[in-house]
Structure 1
Amino acid sequence: MGFRKGSISHRNQLIEQLEKVLFEAETMADVKVNNATLSVTGNHIRCLNTQAATALNRNRANGVSGDRAIVETDIDQVLNLSQAISLPPDRDILHTLPQEYSVDTLNEINNPIGLTGRRLEGRVHLVTAATSAMRNIVDCVEEIGIKVNGLVFQPLASAIATLKHDEMQLGVTLAEIGSSTTDIAVYHGGAVRHSAVIPIGSGSITNDIAVMLQISIEEAESIKIKYASAKASLSSPKLEFDLQTENGDGKRSISEHELSRYVEARMQEIFHLIINEISRADIKESLTYGLVLSGGGAQLSNISALAGDLMGMRVRIGTPKHIDGITDIADLPIHSTTMGLLLWSILSNDFAQSNHISMNTFFQKL
């Protein structure tokens, strides 16, 4: 495929795959694709919280010192100041996501425009990425004649497609379980409080099955989808199926329960890593809505039961919001990021003139 853990591993293979996907998409939809919005993830992604402030020391109307109403350019200035962090020369800021503002002694303000004060402070979540990784992705897509409109950190796109407004307000963690990474975004108060990339995904389960049972990757993926349970105790020790081994020994049988033990071991590892990331956000007790699982890995049987047992919180499977005119097959968790990118593109066009759109504002438009 030419892509591994969110980064390009073989450029020519990736371009060939992109050309194939583009042809199939244009043929199926009977349209010419000219531009696209892309999701990004990978080990190169880094996220942090920061803050900045500006003095509102002059009245814009008469130039006199004192309190004045906050305008859009004040917010722009605070957000620009928040980006003034020390970054290595090979890294760029991908997203600047406002969390909340303070005006003098007033705190936890979502939108301070029109409020009067002397000092405006903003707290911001920054997502940074390796410049070369982003440039290489864009170059490959542009190589096949597609203009790239923008790049979106994968769990942010998935969140727009799957999360509910109340979840984002009252606290929830989104875990997008992809093939090679699990992407995390923790929300509270309508904003991203923490995000991260875990370099393990559902593809690791497939590899484990292939190695343990000495079968091909293709067969391992097939039986994972058909027979595996994320929680072995909910699988059947009596239900058996045949395997075609790779070592020339021919067919052998394995029970659904035995297969699921391999799967559960890896899923437990992934969930413990998710727990670690939630702990880093330091707001676990405020996550009223617990955990929402999306991505292809979220389609694994009984995954929400295992997650609930291990994490001690509410768990649900996140499916994309339905969009009229798009086939129902797109409502599966595996399509969360794709549907989120579509919504992101639509909403970004609505807010094209603004530089400080919060995630809360995005959700209010849905």
Structure 2
Amino acid sequence: MKMGTILQNQGIISGIDIGSFKCCCSIGELNTETDDVKLLGIGQSPSTGIKKGSIVNRDRVIDEIQTAVREAESMSNIKIDRANITISGNHIRGLNTQGAIAIHSDGSSVIPEPQQIQSQDISKVLDMARAISFPIDRNILHIIPQEYIIDTMEGVINPLGMTGRRLEAKVHLITVAISAMTNIKNCVEESGISVDEIVYHGLASALSVISSDEMEMGVAVVDIGADTSDLIVYHESGIRHTAVIPVGGNSITQDIAMMLQISTSEAESIKLKYGSAIASMASTELEFDLPYDKGHIKRSISEHELSRYIEARAREILQYIAMEISRADLDNPLTYGLVLTGGGSQLNHFAKLSESVLEMKTRIGNPVKCGNSINLGTEPMYAAPLGLLNWKNFNTSNRIILNGHQNTIGVKMMQFIEGLSNWGKGFF
């Protein structure tokens, strides 16, 4: 440990986002009086051990985690020993379900008198909602209430202390492959970091880029990663749909590399510097030289021609997004439309193309929920690692399922509900 470095204490929060393009570690400080989080340090490493959210080289993943952690520790002068981490990949599934109970029922057939709802009633009804069969290789990652119904009264956000005979919970479940979750957790622990919470990547991103008003009125958030894109749909302050789309920014990069016969690293650089998601907005006259090896013919290409390759794949990504949003099966449109975030969203004119293709208001989501003491972490690519720093504010712990065992939900879920209603006050 270098001179001046302090150990992680209760006010220090850290997150590790392990993606297919980069591994990123964030370190922040929680103000216990205001619940505000200030970003103190951020570190990253190129990711070569993850493909489409799955580990393909365990040793590389461990090394890349350690590199990102060291960089964040060096910037913040804080030595961390635990962190929240993200998980993504094609194995992620989301579904809506519900459960109902008679309040304080003793199991008799007698209609109960109205009773005041207590925390154990809420825990019991959430247990009923999650009591569905899953394949043996899957387990629940998150149980997120959408609304409660007390007798015939719908739309209740927090039923604690209210009175009724019957309590129903509508919830959104996010499930994962047990092997994928165990493997990513083991890699983090072997890098020397204990895992506090495992969070769906799309949910972490959303927490750093949208407000409570957007959650209430309706918004879709898509974090466009390298190999996959994470989608989450909010309406009436509840999560209505989640999905992992099997394409991302690398799909565009690989198209460019193949068509122009250059390396993927060169294609990525060209894409961000000269490319546009809308070919008609790129210049037909401005040309740039392509990378070439000594002895080969020098080549050049216009920004417009490059952008033709880009637009075709960008439209495909947006068509996937449209399909998943339609699966949310909402009665009303999303008032706030679509928020694109993640590294893949930084493509020029992507939001404008989205508005044309989806006929939906679209903006690029930059993380804004962390006070920033350093000049980093404001780009969309940092949405998930910064969202992890805000995760603890809500105590969203139906604790993560580990080793095939699920811990109880308890009253912490109620703190999550109350947190959602207050989330984003003074946000924009």
TM normalised by structure 2 equals: 0.81
Residue 349 of structure 1, CA deviation: 8.7
In 2, the alpha carbon distance for the partners of 1:363 and 1:313 equals 25
After the TM superposition, which residues 177-216 of structure 1 pair with which residues of structure 2 at under 5 Å, given as runs?
177-216=224-263
2:213 is aligned with 1:166: yes
Which structure dedicates a bigger proportion of its chain to helix? 1
Q: Is 1:271–1:310's contact at 8 Å kept on the other side of the alignment?
A: yes
Q: Confirm whether residue 149 of structure 1 aligns to residue 149 of structure 2.
A: no
* 1:328-347 alignment, distance < 5 Å: 328-347=375-394
TM-aligned CA deviation for residue 362 of structure 1: 3.4
**Contact map agreement 2:96 2:173 (CA 8 A) in 1:** yes
Q: 2:222 aligns with which of 158, 162, 175?
A: 175
Cross-structure match for 1:90: 137
Distance change in 2, residues 1:339/1:57 (3 Å): closer
Report what 1:36 is aligned to. 83
Aligned counterpart, 2:367: 320
Report the CA distance between 1:13 and its aligned residue. Answer: 1.4
Partner residue in 1 for 2:38: none
Q: What residue in structure 1 maps to residue 159 of structure 2? A: 112
Task: Check 1:269–1:365 CA distance in 2 against 1; reply closer, same or farther (3 A cut).
Answer: closer
One-letter code of the match for 2:349? Answer: N
Percent identity among equivalent residues? 47
Map Cα deviations across residues 187-211 of structure 1 (whole Å, 9 max, x no partner): 0000100010001100111111111
The amino acid of 1:119's aligned partner reads R
Residue type of the alignment partner of 2:55: I
Corresponding residue for residue 59 of structure 2 = 12
Question: Is residue 362 of structure 1 aligned with residue 409 of structure 2?
Answer: no
> CA shift at 1:19, angstroms?
1.9
Aligned residues between the structures: 363
C-alpha separation in 2, matches of 1:292 and 1:345: 23
For the residues of structure 1 that align with 2:164 and 2:204, how far apart are their CA atoms?
Answer: 35
Shift in Å, 1:154: 0.9
| Residues 260-310 of structure 1 deviation map (CA, whole Å, 9 limit, x = unaligned) | 111111110000000000111112742111101110111111011100000
1:364 alignment partner AA: N
CA distances 1:84-133 after superposition (whole Å, capped 9, x unpaired) = 11011111100000000111111111111122111000000000000010
| In 1: Cα distance, 2:357 partner to 2:265 partner | 30
* Structure 1 contact 104–120 (Cα < 8 Å) conserved: yes
d(CA) in 1 for partners of 2:358 and 2:191?
A: 44
Report whether the alignment pairs 1:80 with 2:122: no
C-alpha contact (below 8 Å) 1:100/1:110 kept by paired residues: yes
Hey, what's the Cα distance between the residues in 2 that align with 1:127 and 1:350? 13
Q: Secondary structure at the match of 2:80?
A: coil
Q: Is the CA contact 2:123–2:411 (under 8 Å) kept in the aligned structure 1?
A: no
Query: Residue 329 of structure 2 is aligned with which of 279, 282, 287?
Result: 282
CA contact (8 A) 2:393 2:419 kept: no
**Gap change, CA 1:24 and 1:57, over 3 Å in 2:** closer
For residue 356 of structure 1, report the CA deviation from its aligned partner.
3.9
Q: CA RMSD in A?
A: 2.1
| DSSP 3-state at the match of 1:355 | helix
**Partner residue of 1:239?**
286
Flag structure 1 segments of 5+ consecutive residues without an equivalent. none
Gaps of 5+ in 2: 1-47, 399-409
Residues 216, 245 of structure 1: 8 Å contact kept: no
Output the CA distance in 2 between the equivalents of 1:245 and 1:53. 66
Q: Report if the CA contact (8 A) 2:112-2:165 is conserved.
A: no
8 Å CA contact 2:158–2:414 kept in 1: the answer is no
1:24 aligned onto 2:82: no
The 1:88/1:58 distance shift into structure 2, 3 A limit, reads closer
* Aligned residue identity for 1:327: I
Whole-Å separation in 1 of the counterparts to 2:397 and 2:53:
29
Say whether the 8 Å CA contact 2:338–2:362 is kept in structure 1.
yes
Question: CA 1:58–1:5 in 2, change beyond 3 Å: closer, same or farther?
Answer: closer
Q: What is the one-letter code of the residue matched to 2:193?
A: I
State the secondary structure of the residue aligned to 1:331. Answer: coil
For 1:317 and 1:356, locate their aligned partners in 2 and report how far apart those are by CA, in whole Å.
Answer: 31
Q: 1:263 aligns with which of 307, 310, 320?
A: 310
Matched to 2:422, the amino acid is Q
Q: Distance in 1 between matches of 2:269 and 2:137?
A: 40
Amino acid in structure 2 at the alignment position of 1:167: E
Q: 1:297 aligns with which of 315, 338, 344?
A: 344
Q: TM-score, normalised by structure 1?
A: 0.94
- CA deviation after TM superposition for structure 1 residue 358, in Å: 4.2
- What is the CA-CA distance between 1:69 and the residue it aligns to? 1.1
- Displacement after TM superposition at 1:251 (Å): 2.6
Structure 1 counterpart of 2:29: none
Q: Shift in Å at residue 245 of structure 1? A: 3.9
| Aligned residue identity for 1:159 | A
Q: Where do 4+ consecutive residues of structure 1 move more than 2 Å?
A: 245-251, 322-329, 345-353, 355-363
Q: What is the alpha-carbon distance in structure 2 between the residues aligned to residue 142 and residue 271 of structure 1?
A: 36
* Preserved CA contact (<8 Å) 1:79 1:356: no
Shift of 1:25: 1.9
Instruction: Describe the shift of the 1:237–1:245 C-alpha distance in structure 2 as closer, same or farther (beyond 3 A).
Output: same
